[in-house]
Structure 1
Amino acid sequence: MQRRRFLALAGTGAAGSLAGCGGSGGEAGRSLREHPAAAGLDGLPRQGPLDGHAVLTFEDPSCPRCRAFHEDVVPAIRSNVVDPGEGAYVLRTYPVVYPWGEPATQALASTHARSDAAFWSLLDHYFSNQDQFDADNVLDRTETFLDSRTDLDGAAVVADAENEAHDEAVQGNLDAAEAADLGRTTPTVLLFRDGQYVTSANGSVSYDLIAETLGVDG
């Protein structure tokens, strides 16, 4: 908890900055499984196969730039990378922007432990209704959403979130960002072409950059 509260003091950084091969995010050519940002890879929320390209993101449900990325860029990643089997979209929640992002991230971890589909639905809900949440209401609204829109017991998920029952997953994301020296700008996007690290970018990241780096359809 103490480390997360320290990280949460930081906001988003410069828009669309590119880390490059020698910048934060790791050395070019390092494999996905060897990269510190991908620690615990098999347990992370993922769409698509891991035997091709990979788009590994650090996103905060409370971050406006993450919302724009999720709404404007992620659909293209799914259409051009995930659906054709070209690679994977892998997500790490990273609560460093607004205070409600921390309990939301706990709820996402507790949801993912129960249902992958419900995790993605809840994440969509957070981004789509971002301006309706604050630290006081996020868990109540989460319970209502899960009860009405998924097969999960919303009260049980919220109880786990309040008790930090899946805090190991939340802390693992923070530790991975620190180990990879990613800083606190969200979203941060790491790109692996054919499983090898190429570069990272953060802030207002475009799909064109992703497509060009991975060599996929734009």
Structure 2
Amino acid sequence: MLKYGKSIYTMLLSIPLIVGCQPANDEKIESELAALRQEVKDLKVQVESINSDIELAKENAAKAAKPKFRTLPDQKDFDGNGTIPSMGDDNATIAIIEFSDYQCPYCKRFTDNTFAKIKQNYVDSGKVKYLTRDFPLGFHPQAKGAAIAANCSFKQGEYWPMRHALFSNMRNLNTALYQKTASDLKLDIEKFSACLEDPQMAENVENDIALASTLGIRGTPSFVVGRIENGQLVGAQLVVGAQDYRVFSALFDDLLKTPK
């Protein structure tokens, strides 16, 4: 396109020079104009082709950005029989299970930007029960220890404040931070320290990892969303990534409208 533009510009400059510096030559001028008209036509074709490519690129980008849901089998014992962290009304219609990693920047982004809106509009209103499980990735060396610290805090009723502290300090995850936060939260430090070393706590995290793998989860954050019916999660959908609040809102609203 630049080649055509430069050529047209050159020809436009040359036409007045031909007219002003030598006797009129109608045939030559007409030939120059015909060539110019042809280049303009060719340029229009190029522009139309480029515009078509741009529209196709936009369409492909929109398809890539659209969240992909995957239907899952009904999830029995989805809440670990009350043994995993949760918030919300036990009589809620919808449940969402977050699989997270405390060193995952996308998990932090979700927590900082989307989680609060879900809590305010769906959890606090009694529509949705929010549950969490751990999926520390192998290349995040501190994530598993942080998950254990959060679950030890859960045992003393302070899971959510510890979770907030861990994400807020995700670059400094270590035992000293866990102990300090536990102290700030007025936890029983002796019990908390013993819990950090309890092999069962590490096994619990491994069980979450195994469950995530069976669900086809490969990264964080990932979410399982479905309707609660007879103690099971039915119509479950797997949502991958730190999606915008509107994605979750639309999914919740669709599930809430679905007749039992």
Determine if the TM-score, normalized by the shorter chain, exceeds 0.5. yes
Q: Does 1:139 align with 2:175?
A: yes
1:101-124 Cα deviation digits (max 9, x unpaired): 111111122221222xx1111100
Is 1:55–1:89's contact at 8 Å kept on the other side of the alignment?
yes
1:170-217 C-alpha deviation (Å, 9 max, x unpaired): 12211211222222x000011114553342221222211111011089
Deviation at 1:16, TM superposition (A): 7.6
The DSSP-based 3-state class of the residue aligned with 1:68 is helix
* CA drift at 1:141: 1.0
Quick check: 1:111 aligned with 2:153?
yes
Separation in 1 of the partners of 2:217 and 2:118? Answer: 22
Is 1:47 the counterpart of 2:83? The answer is: no
Matched, 1:188 2:230: no
Output one character per residue of 1:43-87: Cα deviation in whole Å (capped at 9) or x when no partner: 110011244111111011111100011111110111111111002
In 2: Cα distance, 1:203 partner to 1:163 partner: 31
Is contact 1:60-1:101 (8 Å) kept?
Answer: yes
- Is the aligned partner of 1:18 residue 2:68? yes
After superposition, give the CA deviation of every residue in 1:15-65 in whole Å (9 maximum; x if it has no partner): 8852423xxxx14xx2x436xxx2624211001124411111101111110
- TM-score, scaled to structure 1: 0.76
By relative contact order (CA 8 Å, sep 6+), the higher-ranking structure is 1
Structure 2 partner of 1:33: 76
Indicate conservation of the 8 Å contact 1:142/1:158, yes or no: no
Return the alpha-carbon distance in structure 1 between the equivalents of residues 163 and 224 of structure 2: 20
**Structure 2 unmatched ranges of 5 or more:** 1-63
Number of the residue aligned with 1:59: 100
- 1:70 alignment partner, SS class: helix
RMSD: 2.4
Q: Which residue is equivalent to 2:170?
A: 130
Higher helix share: 2
Pairing of 1:150-169 with structure 2 (within 5 A):
150-169=185-204
How many residue pairs end up in the alignment? 186
Percent identity among equivalent residues?
A: 21
Which is greater in Rg? 2
The aligned counterpart of 2:206 is: 171
